[in-house]
Structure 1
Amino acid sequence: MITDLRENDSAEYKFRFMINQPGDKYTGSPGVTLSVTGLQVEVSRSDSTWSLMKCLSSCVLPYYPSYYWYKNGQKINTGSSLFVYFGSSDSYSCSVRGYEDQRSPSVYAPKLPSVSVSSSAEIVEGSSVTLTCSSDANPAANYIWYKKDGNPDPPLSEEPQLVFSSIQSSDSGQYYCRAENLMGTKRSESISIDVKYAPKLPSVSVSSSAEIVEGSSVTLTCSSDANPAANYTWYKKNQTRPHGEGDIYRFTSISSEDRGIYYCKSENKHGWIDSSSLVVDVQYAPKLPSVSVSSSAEIVEDSSVTLTCSSDANPAAKYIWYKKDGNPDPSFSEEPHLVFSSIQSSDSGQYYC
């Protein structure tokens, strides 16, 4: 016999008897299922300000039973229904008169929701991540997930869990959830998601958009989106050794030897990537010209002779030939070559370009 029957007495019951021989026992199977139902509070919203509650029972009650209502365990009212302020942090229950010690389970708005992330380690781009929201509430709460990304913030999911099957860097940010039932609503604290990822394709730039002239100061800059922040190494094409470290590489006084194609390497513990190429074209005046004559033997009258002038310069140099024969010396040609197709004795002398 069960006295003072309660809902938690609901169960499957079996009998067992034993005989005198050790190890011999018999159990009645299948058992008998006992389902005990008591008072329940049914909640329905009337508007955004009030909630309507009714005290219901599946048990057979006396005609026209009287009900008591309780707020936080204290008796407050009578009647089969009760209006309460929507969003109240109080809990409510009811009982039937004469059975005050057998109250219904309490109903209440959601408590402060707790939020958690499935991974306690670093969150790396491409991995699976789940955010979970939970709140103590009766009736059970419904959940909505938000990202702090606007005013108002857009809803992302109406499930207890927000799942990223392959999380991306753009998913970094602060998230929160809202738990709500017919008694009220409660917002959680924010949880921060910081997605780590390898560097994206770096961008490279040069400080001067005009001509780069020898002797000037020039700065090369490399930048890349990465988390954690990337380290940078500068290289010059066709050279195996690094040319410099850091996102900025400076030429305090650039020279013609610094001409070439440069690129940077962006790297963190999740990976690395090379930038596109950056051409550094240094402009400079002509270096000391070299002069040569086509014939290394004796130059005989009427023979063909060519004098050649060349100089390292950027942009390419223009040339003028002179003969030391006055003040000023007369110019002969504005070409790299001074050609005598049939040289004469009068052409003897000293030439320069």
Structure 2
Amino acid sequence: MPRNIVVIFGASNILWMVFAVSQNVKVEIFPEDKMIAQIGDSASLTCSVPDCKSSLSFSWRTQIDSPLNGKVKTTGTKSTLVMNPVSFENEHSYLCTVSCGDLKGERGIQVEIYSFPKDPEIHWSDLPEVGKPVTVRCLVPDVYPVEKLEIQLLKDNHALVSQNFLELVDIKSKETKSLEFTFTPTEEDIGKAIVCQATLIIDYQPSTKTTTEKMQIYISPKDPVISVNPSTSLQEGDSVMMTCTSEGLPAPQISWSKKLDNGDQQLLSGNATLTLIAMRMEDSGIYVCEGVNPVGTNRKEVELTVQVAPRDTTISVNPSSTLEEGSSVNMTCSSDGFPAPKILWSKKLKDGNLEPLAENTTLTLTSTKMEDSGIYVCEGINQAGINRKEVELIIQAAPKDLQLTAFPSESVKEGDTVIISCTCGNVPPTLIILKKKAETGDTVLKSTDGAYTIHRARLADAGVYECESKNEIGLQLRSITLDVKGRESNKDYFSSELLVLYCASSLIIPAIGVIIYFARKANMRGSYSLVDAQKSKV
């Protein structure tokens, strides 16, 4: 609002209040002069006519007939306007009108409001650290009217910066104001006080709120110092104690960790001292001491070496420990130990002795043959001892020397027994499958060790028999044809024995017929006599 409008408005208020004081009956109002109320609080105006002996009535209104924004309570000779809570709508000149019988009277009062509810707040752009610029901010929330506000920042009772907020605004509102100051802390600032002070002029009287904070000045951890007892070079089974210290403010928290092969760190301890007992080779490596506080981190490394005899000897075979004859293979050996072990390759002989082959990490065999199969030995050797590892190399070849036979012959007669047998000269043995071929489909035979027995051969058993021998490298096929012959002529079916039996049967059958005939006749006569029967024919 322009300043000239404020002056005119203020003058009209005074004239209005002077007019409102004129009365025929004495009216009292409390407070007498004006009211200063804080937004959000509860406030009340009381109008009374203690000398009225007649009928009495009260009414309240604002200068410009705005809503009262309050509740009126009238009891006897008093009337109270209660504003709860006080808000911007309550900033008016209020008029209390009284009727006492035929007499009337009025009394006016001005209500002014403000907002200054909280102490100032101190905020930092970062943790204050020695040697690094930092900004401190004094914040005063929910202030009205801001044109009557002053903020001041002090350090150890010395003013750093201050500001008045004299701007006028058209809209009534609570505002948050702040004041900032940037400086570089030193060690001398440790423990000194930062003061944020806000002053609001209320009814020409200053109201001051203050917040004081003792500065916590930080110092980032300085280079850690490591001590190792007894030494960084150790023997397997030894113990070692490592102590780390680092300066900073506040005092850094010390931790110990070990660097892993993948670059990560394995946390070991949150104490300044790390003790390792019964050291092993895998305890060798880089150990890290780290000092940490709220403003920084610093670290120091130390390397421990544990000397041990060769151990954990390993062998890798490329492409595989099972190979096809004629291919090449690389066998690589590694062994842990300190100092680094020397590698020696040998082949184990049948008598158990070792045949030295090479002193390289990698042993290469080219154009392998089946006699290269066997057990190969890698030894890791240093001054402290020997450690060895074995690997078995298997050289395979595709099936060969496959033989398929029929016993006693590939040509048999019906009723004979025949054995079909398949053998392979490979070492190790290959898979053998016997089949009987047919146009309608092959039949897999149930063989034992590559042999299939046909008992009492029939004509249907004749045909092509196939042997299939295969392994991971390849396969080989062999086939034979079995011929099953029938009997050569009919005499084979009518031997001399059968002929005798045939003749005997030709005589017996008629005789049996004669006996049956006479038996029937005897039955007809009631008796039968072989003698009488013969006589009758003479």
Band of TM-score, shorter chain = 0.3 to 0.5
TM-score, normalization by structure 1? 0.45
Higher strand share: 2
Higher radius of gyration, 1 or 2:
2
Higher helix share: 2
Q: Return the structure number with greater relative CO, CA threshold 8 A, min gap 6.
A: 1
TM-score, normalization by structure 2? 0.31
